[in-house]
Chains A and B, each alone.
Chain A
Amino acid sequence: MLMNHTATLLTIVLGGALVSAAGLIAVPEWQLAAELEPIVDEASQTSYPAPPVRDELAFGRADYRGLGCVTCHTQQTRRPGFGSDHARGWGERQTVARDLLFDELPVVGWQRLGPDLANIGARQPDAAWHLLHLYDPRAINADSSMPSYRFLFERRELGAGEPPPLEALILPDGHPDASHAVAIVPTRRAHNLVAYLLSLDRSHPLAEAPFAPAAPLE
């Protein structure tokens, strides 16, 4: 009886899992490690992608993970011709391995209840827009089902005639929280998260993923 031999069973069980792990993880790792390095621009002394530094972006990225943004947002643009990502203006080209060279713990995502964010920094470079959007997404898009992140903001009571601080949100007229007595002030965390979102820009051209012909931005 073939399956009465523990050695046979052990071989097929361990072999099946380990060979597929080798094939789908170790081999790509070996292939990409040999092929990929950042593209350095000698003139400006910058590289794409930029090596990570322990700064506000890192804190913002950690919060992006910790808040579970991955639940509803991807950071991988599909190639032009496969789905509508390109036509929506979500990216000029497909996301490739080189884009993720320094991305530890992937946030590429797997589900979209909101738009792809691979290039959100290029698509929406206005920090004030992002802060207001985090505070109340429906103040910007009435159809949005994104959660409000009010806990990333501080409500500061204002004295009579006291002007709001410079960094306070400017809420649209008629917004329920708009008041002369209270200022909504972004916390450090909100600023870090927005700095991270603004850094998401993969519009650097790469040989392995040429830009598709221009498409109108959404």
Chain B
Amino acid sequence: MSAAAPLAAVAMPTAAERAAIDRSCRGPVLLFAFSAVAWFVVHAIIAVLASHQVHAPSLFADTPWLTHGRLSSAAFATLMWGWAGLGGVAVGLWLQARLAGAPLVAGWLAASAGLVWNLALAVGLVQILVGNGSGVTWLEFPPDVNLALGLAMVAIAVCTLATYARRRPGHVYVSQWYLFAAFLWLPLCFAVANAALYGGAASGAVQAAAVAWFGHNVLTLWVTPIALAALYYFIPKVSGRPIASYPLALLGFWTLAAFATWGGTASLVGGPLPAWVPTVGVVGSVLLLVPVITVGLNQHLTLLGAFHLLERSVVLRCMVIGGVAYTCYGVLVALLALRSVAETTQFTIASSGVMHLALYGCLSLIVIGGLYYLIPRLTGRAWHHAGLIRLHVLCTAAGAITVAGSLIVGGWWQGSLLADPEVSAAAATNAALPALWGRSMGVLAILIGQLAFVRLLWRQVLPAPQRAEVELPAAVRAALAD
């Protein structure tokens, strides 16, 4: 089961073949990548406004489409389906073709799915703002928008699985398991949740269980696996070291699929379902520790003795921060599922902090790292400004840590105050206001970072100005080298 032995048997693609593979995914991947970043900016603007409203509750009081509840729903929806959805697909499509050693199959279908997806997002955002949102977290769009999104997901799954089927014979990489799984899990979970809400598959309280199941699994089976696929590719690729332990990777993947999928209903502890439902959820959430620890350990062992490479490679820096965020995310999911902890943290802002740790911390950093690697290979242009790259990564990482950290710490504080019935709900919320202010600052940092990224991406598509390109420092050139 050594990682090196099967590699020898695989005919590696030549440089020319690699270029052909990159050409095959150029259109769809750039479409997904650029629109994902645009939606991340839209998300961050909405999220800054929504977060600030908690401090200025009369802001926009005369404007129904800017009321806090709608902006919050819109912020969640654009983060999940705009940035995390499109961005994950961008990196995932490219990885799928690169790892299969074969051109992307039916790139036109993926590109069409990207257009439908973007159109659905635009319609969905307007629908939320005019008051037709469902109010269900991660499923805020009205059902017809979900149908369009779901069809796009299925089309993308078809493209990626067909590409996987054309892979070169021999070893299947760890990243390929996660890609295979994530591209199937996304439409599957989305279909199940929509069937439960709109298709009559569940009613009343069970719909709440379905929402909890989906809320957990959209993070555990799409957001983090697509990030892990990139992690398992880029860390060995950039560091030049093979994955430390193949059996450990196997254990992590199997336990994720078999046990961690059961974790969602832990959030319903003390809630309106039969007691066994949240209890199973607690067990599933605690078992998430196994995949999380194996992934963390595996990446750590892979990089052991090579941490100096972090100074040289921005891609590696993004991957390591994202990987650490994944470990923290998993540990916190397990911790907050425990009844004794949930008694304090349930219904506080801490849950939002953990979600943002997965989305801002894990997925965002890893997708951004992946985009820094793959976009120059698709456009044929080097990044033009090392300072903007540093600003982007620094702002995103600092923003992610600030948002997640202040919400989790603030949530604990809020929950501790709420435990005392003498403290009013308003007083507990007010005590958490510094944490919510921290959230506003963190989201603002993320917005600034993404604007720097937009500036960088601008120069990837527009013709360069007449003056000479800025000479890249050796460190950045090295990081971008194949």
Contacts and interface: CB of A to CB of B under 8 A. Distances in A.
14 contacts: A4-B172, A17-B217, A17-B261, A18-B188, A24-B277, A84-B421, A94-B272, A97-B274, A105-B134, A113-B54, A115-B425, A144-B57, A145-B55, A149-B61
A71 B347 contact: no
B352 A111 contact: yes
B62 A151 contact: yes
A184 interface: no
Contact of B271 (A4, A76, A144): A76
B136 interface: yes
Interface string B466-477: 000000000000
A81 B150 CA distance: 42
B284 interface: yes
Contacts of B61: 147-151
Contacts of A56: none
Given A20-B261, A24-B209, A94 B270 contact: yes
Interface residues of A, number: 81
A74 B63 CA distance: 24
Contacts of A214: none
Contacts of A6: 164-165
A182 to B, nearest CB: 14
B262 A20 contact: yes
Interface in A67-86: 67-72, 74, 76, 78-79, 82-84
A110 B351 contact: yes
A129 to B, nearest CB: 16
B197 interface: yes
Given A63-B131, A101-B204, A138-B57, A145 B430 contact: yes
A95 B271 contact: yes
Interface in B298-347: 339, 343, 346-347
B14 interface: no
B205 A71 contact: no
Given A13-B184, A111-B352, A96 B420 contact: no
Contacts of A111: 347-349, 351-352
B181 A9 contact: yes
Nearest to A84: B421
A118 to B, nearest CB: 9
B309 to A, nearest CB: 28
Interface stretch (A26-34, A39-47, A119-127, A166-174): A26-34
A68 B343 contact: no
